[in-house]
């Protein structure tokens, strides 16, 4: 069905309304040709027997009532092949690297179907990112969706790149310590060319590009296209993971721009807005992206997601981080204060969380003491943090010896455990050992989160006295 209509009745923001006399499927792909021959693509948002509402990916400027509308009779598909690895595509899925055409092995709808919960395999394999604040405190697991909550101007990209460079999974079967590398699928949504270059340069420098697929929608690319980009990314990721057996790491940045695009479309449709003007269905919409991570029973590969979002006003109750946090399996906070103190990476571990950590660490995965130690580090750091407010009022002298130890602990935790630099790759043993040196500044009786046997085994004698001595 390739009937052409010249029946546009209304153009409003990213939307075009056209009259039809034959049925058009919901979500179907549309081509609109402007009088000067330019072709724009779009998608049917509402279909009735008389008219359709079309969301135009590349923006509506230049479209007039004389433009012609063609319905392609299918929903948006992504051409798939292993040869996508090493390629750079636009945010709409067309190659932009000057390379050969994509010769797909198959095409798949980008909307994606939900994984049946009975077919999932609970993710349990520890990914070593080489970043202590993550490995030690908020462990990333293969198949997890773990976003980075950041703010504008903060080094979230450096952290994402560090993870992409360093992430490995210690394989059990490879007795010689064999490790698997990830295929990285990178989806840029509305980021600046400068930021994009940061990623591309790093991919090229480290040779990561040949095991990557890049989708680029930049700041000056059409906003509505951003609603498509992550779906192309994830369709590619699922194909490589579940059909071709790759362990895929998906980096999506910046989810905030994606959500802005959703809001723009919602407003153009004059929908009843939800909180702060974002569509009421944003939770569901985001879930159809984030839930496309995981493992499937009996399949080799996995999809691990690392979405990045910049919180407007650094406010994590803003709908974008809020709804994200409600869907993802934890979050990593990048902190402005730590950043200005020069801590690299400036991860604030207290509000950060990895929900899959509990089942992926410990004996047989990382080390027997991992869970208890990280609990204790959390509790002690939180206590030290609290005391910082107090010390500002009453001064160090007014605090007890115990309190002073916690204060020192909190400082050292930031400068020795969290601080490591974006080029340092720490093994999990090293991370945990640093953790023990830090908790050993506290008297043994204080370590009530840690099993007594583990304290006997790992506690570093002498640390506690040292600190009080100076």
Partner 1 sequence: MSNMSQATATETTSEGVIESVSGPVVTAIDLDARMNDVVYVGEEGLMGEVIEIERNLVTIQVYEETSDVAPGEPVENTGEPLTVDLGPGMLDSIYDGVQRPLDVLEEQMGAFLDRGVDAPGIDLEKTWEFDPDVEEGDEVESGDVVGIVPETESIDHKVLVPPGYEGGEVVDVNSGALTVTDTVVELDNGEEIQMRQEWPVREPRPTVEKETPTTPLVSGQRILDGLFPIAKGGTAAIPGPFGSGKTVTQHQLAKWADADIVVYVGCGERGNEMTEVIEDFPELEDPKTGKPLMSRTSLIANTSNMPVAARESCVYTGITIAEYYRDMGYDVALMADSTSRWAEAMREISSRLEEMPGEEGYPAYLAARLSEFYERAGKFKNINGTEGSISVIGAVSPPGGDFSEPVTQNTLRIVKCFWALDADLAERRHFPSINWTESYSLYKDQLDPWWRENVDEEYPEYRQWAVDVLDEEGELQEIVQLVGKDALPEDQQLTLEVARYIREGWLQQNAFHDVDTYCEPEKTYLMLTAIRTFSDEAFAALEAGVPVEEAIDIEAAPRLNRINTQEDYEAYIQELKDDMTEQFRELY
Ligand X SMILES: Nc1ncnc2c1ncn2[C@@H]1O[C@H](COP(=O)(O)OP(=O)(O)OP(=O)(O)O)[C@@H](O)[C@H]1O
In the range 181-200, which residues lie near ligand X by CB under 6 A?
none
- The answer to whether residue 41 forms part of the interface with partner 1 (CB under 8 A) is no
Shortest Å, Cβ 192 to partner 1: 29
Query: What's the token pair of residue 214?
Result: 């890049």
Query: What's the token pair of residue 346?
Result: 């400036």
What gap in Å lies between CA 215 and CA 99, rounded to an integer?
Answer: 14
Residue 319 binds which of ligand X, partner 1, none (CB < 5-8 A, kind-dependent): partner 1
Q: Spell out, one character per residue from 292 to 331, where the chain touches ligand X: x when CB under 6 A holds, - when not.
A: ----------------------------------x-----
Q: Scan for tokens 């980021």, then name that residue.
A: 191
In the range 393-452, which residues lie near partner 1 by CB under 8 A? 393-394, 398-400, 403, 445, 448-449, 451-452
In the range 156-215, which residues lie near partner 1 by CB under 8 A? none
- The answer to whether residue 358 forms part of the interface with ligand X (CB under 6 A) is yes
Residues whose CB is less than 8 angstroms from the CB of residue 79 and which lie 6 or more positions away in sequence, other chains included: 93, 102, 104, 106, 107
What gap in Å lies between CA 443 and CA 250, rounded to an integer?
Answer: 43
Contact window for partner 1 (CB under 8 A) among 149-157, 215-223, 389-397, 430-438: 389-397
Q: Compare residues 230 and 325 and give the one whose CB is closer to ligand X.
A: 325
SS3 302: strand
| 323, 255 contact by CB (below 8 A) | no
| 349, 113 contact by CB (below 8 A) | no
| 443, 468 contact by CB (below 8 A) | no
In eight-state DSSP terms, residue 293 is: -
Q: Which helix (H) or strand (E) holds 30?
A: strand 28-33
Residue 170 binds which of partner 1, ligand X, none (CB < 5-8 A, kind-dependent): none
In the range 127-156, which residues lie near partner 1 by CB under 8 A? 143
- The answer to whether residue 26 forms part of the interface with ligand X (CB under 6 A) is no
Cβ neighbours, 10 Å, residue 184: 26
Shortest Å, Cβ 353 to ligand X: 6
What gap in Å lies between CA 377 and CA 409, rounded to an integer?
Answer: 9
Which of residues 70, 336, 355, 422 is near partner 1 by CB under 8 A?
355
Q: Compare residues 113 and 193 and give the one whose CB is closer to partner 1.
A: 113
- The answer to whether residue 319 forms part of the interface with partner 1 (CB under 8 A) is yes
Cβ neighbours, 10 Å, residue 198: 16
Q: Compare residues 353 and 391 and give the one whose CB is closer to ligand X.
A: 353
Q: Compare residues 83 and 386 and give the one whose CB is closer to partner 1.
A: 386
SS3 346: coil
What gap in Å lies between CA 252 and CA 167, rounded to an integer?
Answer: 17
Tell me, rounded to whole angstroms, the distance of Cα 23 from its chain centroid.
Answer: 39
Q: Compare residues 71 and 203 and give the one whose CB is closer to partner 1.
A: 71
- The answer to whether residue 330 forms part of the interface with partner 1 (CB under 8 A) is yes
Contact window for partner 1 (CB under 8 A) among 81-89, 197-205, 315-323, 404-412: 315-323
SS3 277: helix
What gap in Å lies between CA 127 and CA 129, rounded to an integer?
Answer: 6
Shortest Å, Cβ 26 to partner 1: 4
- The answer to whether residue 268 forms part of the interface with partner 1 (CB under 8 A) is no
- The answer to whether residue 122 forms part of the interface with ligand X (CB under 6 A) is no
Residues whose CB is less than 8 angstroms from the CB of residue 429 and which lie 6 or more positions away in sequence, other chains included: 367
Shortest Å, Cβ 291 to ligand X: 13
In the range 280-309, which residues lie near partner 1 by CB under 8 A? 280-281, 283-284, 287-288, 291-292, 294, 296-297, 299
Contact window for partner 1 (CB under 8 A) among 25-33, 91-99, 166-174, 216-224: 25-33
- Residue 249 — φ and ψ, nearest 5°? -110, 120
Residues that bind ligand X (CB under 6 A): 326, 353, 355, 358
């Amino acid at each position: 069905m390739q009937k052409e209509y010249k029946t546009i009745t209304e153009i409003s923001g990213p939307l075009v309304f056209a009259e039809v006399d034959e049925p058009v499927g919901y979500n179907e792909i549309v081509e609109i040709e402007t009088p000067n021959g330019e072709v724009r693509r779009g998608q049917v948002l509402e279909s009735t027997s008389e008219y359709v509402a079309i969301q135009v990916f590349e923006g509506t400027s230049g479209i007039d009532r004389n433009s012609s509308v063609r319905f392609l009779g299918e929903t948006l598909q992504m051409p798939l092949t292993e040869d996508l690895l090493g390629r750079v595509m636009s945010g709409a899925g067309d190659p932009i690297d000057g390379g050969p055409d994509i010769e797909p092995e198959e095409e798949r709808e980008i909307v994606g179907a939900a994984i049946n919960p009975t077919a999932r395999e609970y993710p349990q394999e520890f990914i070593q990112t080489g970043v202590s604040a993550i490995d030690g405190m908020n462990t990333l697991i293969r198949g997890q969706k773990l976003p980075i909550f950041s703010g504008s101007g903060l080094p979230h990209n450096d952290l994402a790149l560090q993870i992409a460079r360093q992430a490995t999974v210690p394989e059990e079967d490879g007795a010689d310590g064999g490790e698997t590398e990830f295929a990285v699928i990178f989806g840029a949504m509305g980021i600046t060319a400068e930021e994009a270059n940061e990623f591309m340069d790093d991919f090229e420098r480290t040779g990561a590009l040949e095991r990557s697929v890049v989708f680029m929608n930049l700041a000056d690319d059409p906003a509505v296209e951003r609603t498509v980009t992550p779906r192309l990314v994830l369709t590619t990721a699922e194909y490589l993971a579940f059909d071709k057996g790759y362990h895929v790491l998906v980096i999506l940045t910046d989810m905030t721009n994606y959500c802005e695009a959703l809001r723009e479309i919602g407003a153009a449709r004059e929908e009843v807005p939800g909180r702060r003007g974002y569509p009421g269905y944003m939770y569901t919409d985001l879930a159809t992206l984030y839930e496309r991570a995981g493992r499937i029973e009996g399949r080799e590969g996995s999809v691990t997601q690392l979405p990045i979002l910049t919180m407007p006003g650094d406010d994590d109750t803003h709908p974008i981080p809020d709804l994200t946090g409600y869907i993802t399996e934890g979050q990593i906070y990048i902190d402005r204060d730590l950043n200005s103190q020069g801590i690299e990476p400036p991860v604030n571990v207290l509000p950060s969380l990895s929900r899959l950590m509990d089942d992926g660490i410990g004996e047989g995965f990382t080390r027997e003491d991992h869970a208890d130690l990280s609990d204790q580090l959390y509790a002690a750091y939180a206590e030290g943090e609290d005391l910082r407010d107090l010390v500002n009022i009453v001064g160090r002298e007014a605090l007890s010896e115990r309190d002073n130890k916690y204060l020192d602990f909190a400082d050292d935790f930031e400068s020795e455990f969290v601080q490591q630099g974006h080029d340092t790759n720490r093994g999990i043993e090293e991370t945990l050992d640093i953790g023990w040196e830090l908790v050993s500044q506290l008297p043994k009786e204080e370590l009530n989160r840690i099993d007594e046997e583990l304290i006997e085994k790992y506690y570093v004698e002498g640390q506690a006295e040292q600190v009080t001595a100076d």
